[in-house]
């Protein structure tokens, strides 16, 4: 089969002409003499209209009973039609069924998340997963473009490593021909070596963390991009990060507005993602968390959640009544699907209502010195309409390699970038300790085996310079951009703490 089919995304150039589409049957309905077939070809959706008499009666009947996700080619004339998905319609002159599907397990009715994860190999064909995949593609392209166009050299850092950088409790162990080894938690340490050769470098690859937390923000395998720069200070890093994040958000807005709309993303908020971002120190964040203003903010939030809950319950009640009435089967199915969605939203609201007082308590009782927890980050991030930098964390709460602030050695020269509207941390970064003796002391303080860090210490022996960098998590960034709550939806085949489905 030669691939001279027309792609749905290119139909604009084919008005009035005959084309052949090759794809899968996404949805269909029929009203006697006319059939409406929505075809999905990987580039978009197109409604195809088939009148009785245009093809053989046998084919007409076969198409009428063709199951969702059957594969086929459809030939016909293209017409612009604003009401149609994608803006074009195809009036069928011929069709060929390639493979008949019966009982496709994912129907237009809603399914629970567990079922969908188990069927991820098929669920990837859904509109939501397709939109997210397209956005991920743009994001990754934009990430590479930004660094490539700004003088950075790509360095591929190893996945097998003997070193721990982000805490030994989240290391995945591997048996490397009898020698214990880990899967990398970050490319940073090797990247620091490369920065001393190339000046500005980045690595981009999969990263592994044996996170023992089943939160919406954690995967055990995720993708991280990490730039590292020689001769840079904390301000330089913040500027780099805000220019970078503004650039990638703008690219996704430019290339994927349609997908963002389908996903219900907050486009107006994304359009505000422009430098400068907000800047707070950790100490200022502690003051905010423990303030009366925050308690009031959370009380107001609780009231809003309870109001929304009431509205949802009313809506569910009305639909349940409607369902009991004398209605057609397809209407019942439609209501059943809506009810599944609404009940899922209600369950989520209930969790938020339950968590609100717990999070309020954690915030009031927050003690200087602790790392910010997920709920603390969420609160700060909910209070802002643009990304927020939090800088100067207590050194005990952070990694061994971070440089202490020489004016106040209780804190380090680091930052996290919190995405707005409650999404939380998407970047972690810092200036690196460049003093040999101080770094040796830190490695020992953290109980790490100094032998494994000899080469890393060499970088402080042979032409040490101030340097630093950061890491941006791809899946968390997608969750923020798309408004998707859980990052397991932001990678095609997620690896979760409790389960690897396929």
Other CB atoms closer than 10 Å to residue 88's CB: what's the count? 20
Rounded to whole angstroms, the Cα distance separating 41 from 267 reads: 27
428 binds Mg ion (CB under 5 A): yes
Q: Indicate which single residue of 473, 478, 489, 494 sits in contact with ligand 4AD (rule: CB under 6 A).
A: 473
Nearer to ligand 4AD (CB atom), residue 259 or residue 425: 425
Burial of 325 (0-12, 13-18, 19+ CB in 10 A): exposed
Nearer to Mg ion (CB atom), residue 136 or residue 209: 209
Part of the chain binding Mg ion (CB under 5 A), chosen from 117-125, 322-330, 400-408, 423-431:
423-431
Q: Indicate which single residue of 44, 420, 422, 471 sits in contact with ligand 4AD (rule: CB under 6 A).
A: 471
Rounded to whole angstroms, the Cα distance separating 294 from 41 reads: 49
Q: x/- contact string, 219-248, with Mg ion (CB under 5 A)?
A: ------------------------------
Give the pairing type, strands 160-161 and 179-183.
antiparallel
Nearer to ligand 4AD (CB atom), residue 48 or residue 241: 241
Angle at the Cα of 427 from the Cα atoms of 426 and 431, rounded to 5 degrees: 170
Rounded to whole angstroms, the Cα distance separating 300 from 261 reads: 29
222 binds ligand 4AD (CB under 6 A): yes
Which two structure tokens, joined as six digits, stand for 1? 């089969």
Burial of 188 (0-12, 13-18, 19+ CB in 10 A): buried
Name beta bridge partners: 182: 161, 173
- Largest pairwise CA distance in the chain: 86
Q: x/- contact string, 143-172, with ligand 4AD (CB under 6 A)?
A: ----------------------xx------
Nearer to Mg ion (CB atom), residue 50 or residue 419: 419
φ, ψ for residue 329, nearest 5 deg: -60, -45
Part of the chain binding Mg ion (CB under 5 A), chosen from 90-98, 150-158, 223-231, 426-434:
426-434
Other CB atoms closer than 10 Å to residue 463's CB: what's the count? 8
Please report where in the chains the tokens 């340490």 appear, as a residue. 189
Part of the chain binding Mg ion (CB under 5 A), chosen from 15-23, 180-188, 290-298, 427-435:
427-435
Task: Identify the sign of the CA torsion 382, 387, 391, 393.
Answer: positive
Chain residues 396-435 in contact with ligand 4AD, contact rule CB under 6 A: 425-430
Q: Indicate which single residue of 204, 282, 470, 480 sits in contact with ligand 4AD (rule: CB under 6 A).
A: 470
Nearer to ligand 4AD (CB atom), residue 50 or residue 201: 201
Give the pairing type, strands 424-431 and 179-183.
unpaired
* Closest separation in Å from C-beta 428 to Mg ion: 3
* Closest separation in Å from C-beta 388 to ligand 4AD: 13
188 binds ligand 4AD (CB under 6 A): yes
* Closest separation in Å from C-beta 4 to ligand 4AD: 42
Nearer to ligand 4AD (CB atom), residue 84 or residue 186: 186
* Closest separation in Å from C-beta 416 to Mg ion: 6
24 near 125, Cβ under 8 Å? yes
Nearer to ligand 4AD (CB atom), residue 387 or residue 471: 471
| H-run or E-run covering 379 | helix 374-382
Q: Indicate which single residue of 218, 359, 442, 467 sits in contact with ligand 4AD (rule: CB under 6 A).
A: 218
Which two structure tokens, joined as six digits, stand for 391? 């800088």
Count the residues of the shown chain that bind Mg ion, applying the rule CB under 5 A.
1
Residue 356 contact among Mg ion, ligand 4AD, none, beta carbon within 5 to 8 Å by kind: none
Residue 451 per-residue DSSP state: G
Nearer to ligand 4AD (CB atom), residue 298 or residue 390: 390
Other CB atoms closer than 10 Å to residue 144's CB: what's the count? 15
Q: Which residues bind Mg ion (CB under 5 A)?
A: 428
């Amino acid at each position: 089969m030669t691939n001279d089919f027309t792609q749905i995304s290119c139909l604009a150039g084919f008005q009035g002409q005959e084309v052949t589409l090759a794809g899968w049957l996404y949805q269909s309905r029929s009203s006697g003499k006319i059939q409406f077939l929505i075809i999905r070809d990987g580039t978009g959706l197109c409604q195809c209209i088939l009148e009785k008499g245009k093809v053989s009666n046998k084919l007409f009947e076969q198409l009428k009973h063709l199951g969702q996700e059957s594969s086929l080619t459809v030939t016909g004339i293209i017409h612009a039609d604003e009401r149609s998905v994608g803006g074009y319609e195809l009036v069928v002159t011929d069709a060929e069924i390639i493979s008949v599907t019966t009982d496709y397990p994912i129907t237009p009715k809603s399914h629970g998340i567990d079922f969908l994860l188990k069927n991820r190999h098929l669920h990837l064909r859904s509109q939501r997963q397709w939109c997210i995949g397209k956005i991920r593609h743009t994001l990754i392209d934009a990430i590479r473009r930004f660094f490539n166009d700004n003088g950075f050299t790509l360095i591929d850092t190893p996945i097998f490593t003997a070193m721990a950088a982000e805490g030994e409790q989240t290391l995945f162990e591997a048996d490397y021909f009898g020698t214990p080894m880990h899967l990398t938690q970050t490319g940073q340490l090797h990247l620091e070596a490369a920065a001393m050769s190339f000046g500005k470098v980045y690595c981009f690859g999969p990263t592994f963390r044996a996170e023992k937390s089943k939160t919406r923000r954690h995967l055990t395998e995720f993708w991280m991009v990490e730039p590292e720069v020689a001769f840079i200070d904390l301000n330089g890093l913040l500027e780099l990060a805000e220019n970078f994040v503004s650039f990638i958000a703008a690219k996704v807005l430019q290339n994927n507005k349609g997908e963002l709309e389908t996903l219900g993303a907050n486009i107006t908020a994304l359009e505000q993602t422009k430098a400068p971002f907000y800047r707070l120190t950790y100490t200022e964040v502690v003051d905010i968390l423990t303030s009366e203003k925050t308690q009031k903010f959370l009380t107001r939030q609780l009231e809003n959640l309870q109001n929304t809950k009431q509205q949802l319950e009313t809506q569910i009640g009305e639909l349940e009544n409607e369902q009991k009435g004398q209605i057609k089967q397809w209407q019942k199915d439609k209501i059943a699907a809506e009810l599944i969605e609404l009940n899922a939203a209600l369950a989520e609201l209930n969790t938020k209502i339950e968590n609100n007082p717990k999070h309020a308590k954690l915030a009031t009782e927050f003690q200087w010195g602790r790392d910010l927890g997920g709920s603390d980050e969420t609160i700060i991030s909910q209070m802002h309409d643009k990304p927020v930098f939090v800088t100067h964390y207590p050194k005990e709460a952070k990694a061994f390699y971070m440089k202490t602030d020489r004016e106040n050695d209780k804190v380090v020269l680091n930052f996290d970038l919190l995405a707005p509207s409650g999404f939380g941390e998407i970047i972690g970064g810092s200036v690196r300790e460049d003093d040999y003796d101080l770094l040796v002391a830190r490695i020992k303080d953290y109980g790490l085996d100094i032998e494994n860090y000899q080469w890393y210490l060499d970088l402080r022996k042979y032409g040490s310079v101030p340097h630093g960098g950061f890491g941006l998590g791809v899946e968390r960034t997608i969750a923020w951009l798309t408004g998707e709550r859980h990052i397991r939806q932001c990678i095609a085949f997620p690896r979760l703490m409790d389960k690897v489905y396929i």
